[in-house]
Structure 1
Amino acid sequence: MSDRQELINKLIEKLELLFERQAEFTSEINNLKEELYRLQSEFPEANAEDDGLKVETPVVEKVETIEKVEITAEEPVLQNLTPVEASTPPVSSEHETPQDRSEDLESKRKSRPNKFRLESFIGENLLNKIGILITVIGVAIGAKYSIENNLISPSTRIILGYLMAIGLLGFGIKLKAKFAAFSAVLVSGAMVILYFITFFAYSFYDLISQGVTFALMVIFTLFTVVAAINYNKQIIAHLGLVGAYAVPFLLSDGSGRISALLSYMVIINLGIVVLSFKKYWKSLYLSAFVCTWLIYAACYFVEMPFEDQLLLGLSFPTIFFLIFYVTFLAFKMLKTEVLHSSDVVLLLLNSFLFYGFGYMILEADPVGQELLGVFSLVNALIHFIVSYILFKKNLGSKNLFYLASAMVLVFITITIPVQLNGNWVTLLWVTEAALLFWLGRTKSIPVYEKLAFPLILLAFLSLIEDWSVGYSGLGEHAVLPFIFNLYFLTSVLFIAAFGSMVWLSRNPAYPSTLKTDSIWIVVFKYGLSCLLLFTIYYAFRLEIASYWNQLLDRTKLTLDAENIYSTTFYNYDLMTFKTLWVLNYSLGFVAVLALVNLKVIKNEMLQKVVIGLSVISIFTFLTQGLYALSELRTSYLEPSEYFISTTFNLWLRYICYLFLAIVLWTGTKSVKGYRSDKIVNMIYDLVLHIALLWCLSSELIHWMDVMESEQSYKLGLSILWGLYSFVLIVFGLWKDKVYLRIGGIGLFALTLLKLFFYDISHLNTISKTIVFVSLGLLLLIVSFLYNKYKSRISHDNKDQLSI
């Protein structure tokens, strides 16, 4: 049963793929049809020079054929075919192959005379467009001259402009039957003039009212749409409608009619998008998109027209956004266009231009500043409605639904920091990231999984900012409860969300929807786990540091010296305690991480990380921790006159040693997993013995200082190092570890150098005797052991030095 279901799923996937290809073929067919229309109107004589052929008949036949093919392509032809029929490619005849058909078409193309020449292109196509452009410019220059010199009255100027435009329009329509291409250019130029003249009459001279102006604009727009459809020419739309966008730049003289201008642009845009959709002229839609937002940007940044008109200021970018958004969706759903990356860019530009201008308008208004979050949420709501309709009505492709849904999530993400602040931003972002990742993995939606990645980074950066504000921004005598505070709660919830994502990413039941070798997968696999570990570690570390910082602030003591100046004192032992407890926590964290990995996770990569962290934490304690312990000892032996030091300064070291011992033990357990790797074992053994010798040396110095001995760095250390050298050599012989024996000999050599160049010059006779006799006896015993076990040592050298 499962095999049958799997076969059905595969067939459904193939069918969806065929439907997508079908949509691509439909788009190509429409483009070819459009090109044929263009060639028919611009070169009507190209097919009529040989054999007395008529122009109309062959072109119409070809267009009808394409119409039939387009209708056929829009129907699911596979549903009525048998599997054999569906898989068999159609052929023209019994013996004809695709290669034969291709060669036949190529031979026909070569046999057709090429009538397209540069001279014809310039004379019949280019010159008329240049001519109408120069005519319009000439009329504009003449009108400008007459205005500046008061040659004719304003009403006369407008009437003459209308007469010229109407005359040009009538002449162009009359030439349509014989000279369609030339006629289209004349009609386009006439429409441009009508737009200009009407707006001049309203904006500059107040000769017609606003209502009449809009009525005329509607009429011109409708006429231009009808003419472009009738001529089947994009040039009419581009020159007649897009060309009208030049009007705003002529009106930027402080006339205060920007609202009327933008209303006029709304009418122009409606005509353009209707025409571009009906004739499938995508370039017209793109031209309108670019021109509209550029003109609006110029109006906003130069004129600043809506400083005190909040509602009016928001209405125009909203209308522009909705016009282009609805048209975009119509192209994708009704024209069955395939969603490309350029379409995603177009949708993002439209959405963010609208949001950007709306945000700036609201921010500049005192009332609007309170509505910024609502405005962001409204943007998300618009895309949610679109995604809901796409899903409910099953319109368009799945990618279109995913894109609309992604826009919902993007604007919800923007709403969070706009409306909220502090910890809420972090919590909502990390929750959204976890939800997106869960949907991407469990529902197999790649775009959701990808969207989760930037949100994860945003949430983490927001958490860092919360930490900075919460722990570093505490004022004097501020009280932040240990563990039970908002910042630590935020960290815990953040850790829970990240932990759920890590668990889901490693669950084999929910594999990634992305390619296994994708850079996203590699970054996510290791990056998210590292961020989780870092967050867990630092959440508690900051709490410990904050606790001791607050204790330090409470010990502030200010003393006045003869009313001239004051001196502030702190109990700096508390800073030393903070350092040591942070180190203890770090050692404990590494130890717990090692145990969890050994008992539960059992991940090889994490095991390597644990070994590395163990070595780092050990050396950090040996350098910083032991120095801090010596500072506490000094503070106890030389107490401050303002603060009391207790014996805890002396005994804290043994608590620290306990944490160090735990890390050494868990590190040894982790290294056992690399028993076959001799180098790893050897390095960790050396680290272990260096740590032991360092701690023993520190302990010796500690108690000799407490007992006020002056020989701690001379006699005591030399004897200790000599004894430890002896132990290393004995232990190396017992465990057959040549590197330990070599290390013991090296330590002996270092001890002897210290003895002759540092100790001997400051020791009395008895001390010198004790040191020399002790080291001499140890060297004799070592020599005896080497002689006794020389056979074993020789064998060890053959086996172990080979590494």
Structure 2
Amino acid sequence: MTASEHLSQLVHTQKQTLRELEAEINALSARDFLTENDRLKSELEQSYARCRQAEQTCESQKKELETMQEALHARLYSEKQHALKAAAKRLSTYYQAQTAGEENRLAAFEKTMRTRIDQLEQQVKAEDAALFNEVASEFGRLKTLLEDRIAQIRREREAKAVSLAEQAKPEFGAMRDEPLTEQEAQAALRSRHFESLIGLSVFNKIGILLVVIGAIAAARFTYTKLPDTFKGGMLFLLAFLFLGAGEWLGRRGRRADLFSLGLSAGGVALLYVSVVTCFFWLHLLHPYAAFALIVLITALAFFLSQRHNAQVIAAFAMIGGYLPALAFFFQPKLPMEFLLCSALYFACLCLFSLLTACRKKWIAAQFISFVLNAAACSILSTFLYELLTFYPPASQGLIWLCRLTPCLLIALSFLAFLTGPLFYSRRAQTALKIHDFILQGFNLLVSYTALSFTVASIPGASRYAFLQPLCFTLTLAGTACFLWKWVPKERAGLFAAAGAAVLTSLLIIPMQFGFVYAVYAWTVEGLLFLLPGLLYKRRPLEITGWLVGAAAVLSLIVAYPMLQLSLPDTAFLPSCAAAYTCVTLASLLPMAVIIHNGREAGAMQGLYKYGFLLNLWIYTIFAAQLFLPVLISEKMGALHTDMFLLSLTILFGCAVACVSIRLPRLRDDATAVIGLLIHAVSFIMVHLLNCLYFRQADSLPKGAQLGLILLQILVNGVCVLAAADFTGTLVRRFRAPVEVFPLTVSACFTVLLTELLLGQFRLAFTNPLISILYLVTALGWILCGFWRRYASMRRFGLGLSFLALAKLFLIDLSGLSEGKRIIAFFAFGALMILISFVYRFFSKRMHPTGSITQLPAQENRPSDQK
């Protein structure tokens, strides 16, 4: 590249840079930052001026409020002083009246006594002049005494009155000088507020209602010669007069009181009445024109309610917005377009309710809107269903639009009434009230029911039945998350939303696959809540898991058999067995977690432990009788099959009882009682097995016979061990005597062995082997009594020895041959000698305070040696 080309390129680059710089300068000039800055500065000054004006207004209103409070307190204080003066005056009047009465009584008494004295004096003077001269001085002294006494009474009364007045004067003065307390002011304000409520609010609403009724009656039944257009115009004029009067009385610069709000609400109500009257009775409006006027009036009422912060206007807007539109539905041959427009209008009313609930805590307006909206959705769904049934549209799209419109409207209503109180609670950071919970409960119940009936009318909707409870579950779960994140103070609402989400989630599987599968679904869901709650010590998850599991168990016990019996194509017993097996296997997991954690925490875990043990025992009985017969050959016969199943049932029961009693992390008094109960039932079963079921050796193969014999021996041996466990538990936990343990175990062994020999091995009771068995048992009791120093065991052993000896001589010897008698004599004699040797051997090793007394020969031995 030559130098000239290089310079040309450099010049071209510089020109390009210069053009870019000029473009940037032009852009900056176009933006005119100084002008923008001036504009922002002027806006800031205007905002500052408005802020200052708002502060000045607030200060002036604050001063005005303080002035009004001072005037009110002064007024109440003057009323208090007036009341005290009136009370003092009434007390003075009452005291004067009482004093006058007493004075009158005293004067009457004085007059009566003077009259009687004069009468006595005249009588004595008339009868005997000499006697009169003697007693004349006494009559004079009596009159003087009467005058002195009455004068003294009057002086005492006057002194007492002066004393009472002096005592009451400082107290009354202190009460009069006492300032007005807050309680007195609040009581006076409450009385005046109640009076104002009756006179201003209640009478105002009653008057507006009477005016509305009078307007309707006047339009329909008076001035029949006047044209209908004039009547309709007068109604609208009256409505606008009420609105104008209410706005003028509550205009800016004056305080909007209840009276002006009542006039505005009455104007809104009269507007609705005017439209309804002109449409239904005067027939001046087309349906679409009347509907459009209703929409405009509702918008106006919404604006006025927000402008004046008036719940009464909002309530009238709700009533007037819903009722005329509902009245339009009962006109004949409503077109589909009108119904769809009505649905859109109801959706707008739902949004109006949502906006109102987000900003204001208007309870009456919310409940009125909810009730009317539920009625509107129900009526609209009914009319659309009839339209699709009798006059279906030609287009498939319109058909689906008519089907989905009620569903969408119900869903929008549910969301509107659900989220309104939540946003208000977040905005004000306040907890939900009881009326909010009532509204949310009715909203959930009504919306779910209405949506279920509406969806059921759609063809093919049953294939997606799980979507409805799933959507409700997700919505309620989102509500719980919203409250947990944005309204941390609201715990009751959080738990209520989470509980409702769990409740609706229980319907997902049953709605899709039928309630036959509810047990399986609820069991799995209960485990999903319960296991994390137990592992990570989350109490809400644990409680939810317990409740869902309880629902699964109740459905298995109550609802599941009824549903199975109502389904003819489903086998009842196998299906119930499968559900019961599922619940029992699932119950093992929480029990394993509780055992892993150690001691149970809370009453629910303790109760679950007891229920688990009882259910496990019942399930072993159920499973042995239902599942095991499939594994047994038919050649064994019904008798041997019952023996086999009963033997296994006894073994399973003893195993469960052993776990209940001996597992350290489960062991307590209640589990011990459960184990004792299972052992007692197992003892009864083994006695039934030994006494009622007899093997038939000819009908069984040798292997089966040997197996049954070994199984019966095993069952009886396990029952002996169970008796040991039973008695040991009584001794350890319930403080039974220690000597009961070996005595009970040996007695159980003896009884069971006797039953086994008599029933299963077909030995006769007269066989001396049984007596020898009793004698061996008695020897064991005596040995154990010496070893553990239990006197009662040794005595029971002696008693059993005499019983065995009596059986030998009274029963056994009569049926024996000569050789067997000799053998029996030798055997019994050897055992008796052995028992005597045991007594001799152990008596030398007993302490003097032992339970074996020394023989007389031993006591007299020293004297014999001497």
Output the TM-score relative to the length of structure 1.
0.65
Alignment of 1:367-382 (within 5 A): 367-382=460-475
Equivalent residue number for residue 698 of structure 1:
755
Q: Structure 2 counterpart of 1:689, which letter?
A: S
Secondary structure of the residue aligned to 1:571 is helix
**Are residue 740 (structure 1) and residue 814 (structure 2) matched?**
no
Please, which of 626, 644, 668 is the counterpart of residue 577 of structure 1?
Answer: 644
For 2:768 and 2:742, how far apart are their aligned partners in 1?
27
For 2:408 and 2:796, how far apart are their aligned partners in 1?
81
Equivalent residue number for residue 313 of structure 2:
236
Q: Structure 1 counterpart of 2:710, which letter?
A: Y
**1:697-727, CA deviations, whole angstroms, 9 ceiling, x for partnerless residues?**
112213662xxx6x42797766655653454
For 1:654 and 1:474, how far apart are their aligned partners in 2?
45
Q: Structure 1 counterpart of 2:789, which letter?
A: D
For 1:549 and 1:113, how far apart are their aligned partners in 2?
85
Secondary structure of the residue aligned to 1:338 is coil
Q: Structure 2 counterpart of 1:270, which letter?
A: L
Q: Structure 2 counterpart of 1:712, which letter?
A: F
Secondary structure of the residue aligned to 1:633 is coil
Change (3 A) 1:776 1:366: farther
Please, which of 732, 736, 745 is the counterpart of residue 679 of structure 1?
Answer: 736
Please, which of 212, 221, 228 is the counterpart of residue 136 of structure 1?
Answer: 212
For 1:382 and 1:778, how far apart are their aligned partners in 2?
85
Equivalent residue number for residue 166 of structure 1:
240
Please, which of 495, 498, 504 is the counterpart of residue 411 of structure 1?
Answer: 504
Equivalent residue number for residue 625 of structure 2:
545
Please, which of 301, 304, 326 is the counterpart of residue 419 of structure 2?
Answer: 326
For 1:306 and 1:501, how far apart are their aligned partners in 2?
59
Alignment of 1:70-219 (within 5 A): 106=182, 109=185, 116=192, 122-140=198-216, 161-176=235-250, 180-198=257-275, 208=285, 212-219=289-296
Q: Structure 2 counterpart of 1:166, which letter?
A: F
Query: Which ranges of structure 1 fall in alignment gaps of 5 or more residues?
Result: 1-36, 54-101, 513-520, 557-568, 799-803
Q: Structure 2 counterpart of 1:579, which letter?
A: L
**Are residue 222 (structure 1) and residue 299 (structure 2) matched?**
yes
Q: Quote the offset at 1:418 in angstroms.
A: 2.1
Equivalent residue number for residue 494 of structure 1:
586
Q: Structure 1 counterpart of 2:510, which letter?
A: P
Q: Quote the offset at 1:680 in angstroms.
A: 7.0
**1:38-97, CA deviations, whole angstroms, 9 ceiling, x for partnerless residues?**
xx99xx9999789999xxxxxxxxxxxxxxxxxxxxxxxxxxxxxxxxxxxxxxxxxxxx
Q: Quote the offset at 1:380 in angstroms.
A: 1.8
Q: Quote the offset at 1:775 in angstroms.
A: 9.3
User: Contact between 1:591 and 1:663, CA under 8 Å: does it hold in 2?
Assistant: no
Q: Quote the offset at 1:326 in angstroms.
A: 1.7
For 2:696 and 2:228, how far apart are their aligned partners in 1?
97
RMSD: 5.7
For 1:610 and 1:667, how far apart are their aligned partners in 2?
17
Change (3 A) 1:129 1:583: same
User: Contact between 2:669 and 2:733, CA under 8 Å: does it hold in 1?
Assistant: no
Q: Quote the offset at 1:319 in angstroms.
A: 1.9
Alignment of 1:298-309 (within 5 A): none
For 2:191 and 2:483, how far apart are their aligned partners in 1?
49
User: Contact between 2:766 and 2:815, CA under 8 Å: does it hold in 1?
Assistant: no
Q: Quote the offset at 1:224 in angstroms.
A: 1.7
Please, which of 681, 698, 702 is the counterpart of residue 620 of structure 1?
Answer: 681
For 1:410 and 1:165, how far apart are their aligned partners in 2?
49
Equivalent residue number for residue 289 of structure 1:
370
Q: Quote the offset at 1:204 in angstroms.
A: 8.3
Q: Structure 2 counterpart of 1:351, which letter?
A: L
Please, which of 687, 694, 701 is the counterpart of residue 633 of structure 1?
Answer: 694
Equivalent residue number for residue 746 of structure 2:
689
Q: Structure 1 counterpart of 2:624, which letter?
A: I
User: Contact between 2:462 and 2:512, CA under 8 Å: does it hold in 1?
Assistant: no
Equivalent residue number for residue 311 of structure 1:
404
For 2:260 and 2:70, how far apart are their aligned partners in 1?
21
Secondary structure of the residue aligned to 2:609 is helix
For 2:72 and 2:568, how far apart are their aligned partners in 1?
93
Q: Structure 2 counterpart of 1:737, which letter?
A: Y
Q: Structure 2 counterpart of 1:238, which letter?
A: A
Higher relative contact order (CA 8 A, sep 6+): 1
For 1:185 and 1:323, how far apart are their aligned partners in 2?
28
For 1:305 and 1:264, how far apart are their aligned partners in 2?
20
Change (3 A) 1:773 1:214: farther
User: Contact between 1:307 and 1:365, CA under 8 Å: does it hold in 2?
Assistant: no
Alignment of 1:495-574 (within 5 A): 495=587, 497-499=589-591, 501-503=593-595, 506=598, 521-522=602-603, 524-534=604-614, 536-537=616-617, 541-550=621-630, 571-574=638-641
Equivalent residue number for residue 22 of structure 1:
none
- The size of the alignment, in residue pairs, is 661
Change (3 A) 1:162 1:590: same
Q: Structure 2 counterpart of 1:544, which letter?
A: A
**1:731-753, CA deviations, whole angstroms, 9 ceiling, x for partnerless residues?**
32332224434654676798899
Output the TM-score relative to the length of structure 2.
0.61
Change (3 A) 1:736 1:181: same
Q: Quote the offset at 1:571 in angstroms.
A: 3.3
Q: Quote the offset at 1:487 in angstroms.
A: 6.2
Equivalent residue number for residue 724 of structure 1:
777
Q: Structure 2 counterpart of 1:271, which letter?
A: F
Q: Structure 2 counterpart of 1:661, which letter?
A: G
For 1:456 and 1:372, how far apart are their aligned partners in 2?
24
Q: Quote the offset at 1:692 in angstroms.
A: 0.9
Equivalent residue number for residue 79 of structure 1:
none
Change (3 A) 1:447 1:699: closer
Change (3 A) 1:350 1:328: same
**Are residue 432 (structure 1) and residue 525 (structure 2) matched?**
yes
Q: Structure 1 counterpart of 2:594, which letter?
A: V
Secondary structure of the residue aligned to 2:646 is helix
**1:516-574, CA deviations, whole angstroms, 9 ceiling, x for partnerless residues?**
xxxxx21x22123334445655565544322344468x959xxxxxxxxxxxx973432
Equivalent residue number for residue 105 of structure 2:
none
Equivalent residue number for residue 23 of structure 1:
none
Change (3 A) 1:431 1:173: same
Change (3 A) 1:155 1:435: farther
Alignment of 1:649-664 (within 5 A): 649=705, 652-662=708-718, 664=720
For 2:690 and 2:567, how far apart are their aligned partners in 1?
28
**1:143-184, CA deviations, whole angstroms, 9 ceiling, x for partnerless residues?**
6768xx999998777555444433433344344468843232
Equivalent residue number for residue 545 of structure 2:
452
User: Contact between 2:519 and 2:553, CA under 8 Å: does it hold in 1?
Assistant: yes
Change (3 A) 1:752 1:525: farther
Q: Quote the offset at 1:457 in angstroms.
A: 1.4
**1:220-271, CA deviations, whole angstroms, 9 ceiling, x for partnerless residues?**
2232233233433323223443465555886786868787776655444433
For 1:610 and 1:351, how far apart are their aligned partners in 2?
43
Change (3 A) 1:609 1:430: same
For 2:322 and 2:691, how far apart are their aligned partners in 1?
80
Change (3 A) 1:527 1:363: farther
Q: Quote the offset at 1:296 in angstroms.
A: 5.6
Moved more, 626-635 or 249-258: 249-258
For 1:372 and 1:171, how far apart are their aligned partners in 2?
55
Percent identity, aligned pairs only?
18
Q: Structure 1 counterpart of 2:759, which letter?
A: H
